Amino acid sequence: MYAFEFERPSTLDEAVKALGAEGAQALAGGQTLIPTLKQRLAMPETLVSLAGIAELKGISAEGGVLTVGAASTHTEVAGQTAYPALAHLARGIGDPHVRNRGTIGGSLANNDPSACYPAAALGSGATIVTNAREIAADDYFTGLFETALEEGEIITEVRFPIPAKAAYVKFEQPASRFALVGVFVSKGEGGVRVAVTGASEAGVFRWAEAEAALASDFSAAALDGLSASADDLIGDIHGSPAYRAHLIGVLTKRAVQAAG
């Protein structure tokens, strides 16, 4: 580690002001940032903790929408009952330490290509709300560790339309519990959505061909003969692009079966 300033604002306005300073960086749960600092891969002059801001906390369901405060931990998301598929996803993140410290806002802001929440947001057609605007999930994820967030912009909450059917299935890397491939499937008023994480060099994405097949027949059988393309998929020591493409097909079927 190295010397840096630490600020703990109590309001969103104070946090925005603090992040406007040169060299400032937001700190949510710290599950990615702290290890990054230890390795000196990032060296901000000031860390601005978001943990003490009441405006960023709380989970509520109303009018068919689950609203999750950005500072809500994975454990808190796992404990809500309005959106069972999202609760199931949160229960499978990391280990108890990670789930009790990590936050949904921090995960979405970081946009790790193997993280679970991006699949939930994109697969649900969620809206990411910041201190400045509302961003549809389809417009939010822009690439590997990249999002539509501007410098100093803070996620305040995430709004999930609660679908009639949904499920998340992942094939996890056993050491990290990140998704080697994860698939989130939902069927709601906006149609069928299939979001894939862990597989692509570009980060989370929607599998349009599967969505089209499931729109007319929401069953695993509708996906028979359908194969995901291996183009632009990740190839590493854990699996080749072809292997990940195969997993996408298998896990999508399992997610549809789990969704019912």
The pLDDT value given to residue 2: 66
Q: Which helix (H) or strand (E) holds 259?
A: helix 241-259
Flag whether the pTM goes above 0.75.
Answer: yes
pLDDT average, residue stretch 209-226: 97
Give CA angle at 26 (139, 125), nearest 5°. 25
CA distance 177 to 12: 32
Report residue 202 as tokens: 């570009």
Q: Top-level CATH class of 5-49?
A: alpha beta
Question: Which class is 165-259 in CATH?
Answer: alpha beta
Q: Shortest CA distance to 108 belongs to which of 72, 62, 55?
A: 72
Give the Cα separation of 173 and 152 in Å (integer): 32
- Domain 57-161 has what CATH class? alpha beta
Q: How confident is the model at residue 24 (pLDDT cuts 50, 70, 90)?
A: confident
pLDDT tens-digit series, residues 128-150 = 999 999 999 999 999 999 999 99
Q: Are 161 and 190 in contact, with CB atoms under 8 Å apart?
A: yes
Residue pLDDT, tens place only, 82-96: 999 999 999 999 989
Q: Would 57-161 and 165-259 be classified into the same CATH topology?
A: no
Inform me whether the pLDDT recorded for 220 exceeds 90.
yes
- Separation CA 36–CA 204 (nearest Å): 22
The residue ranges of every structural domain in the chain are 5-49, 57-161, 165-259
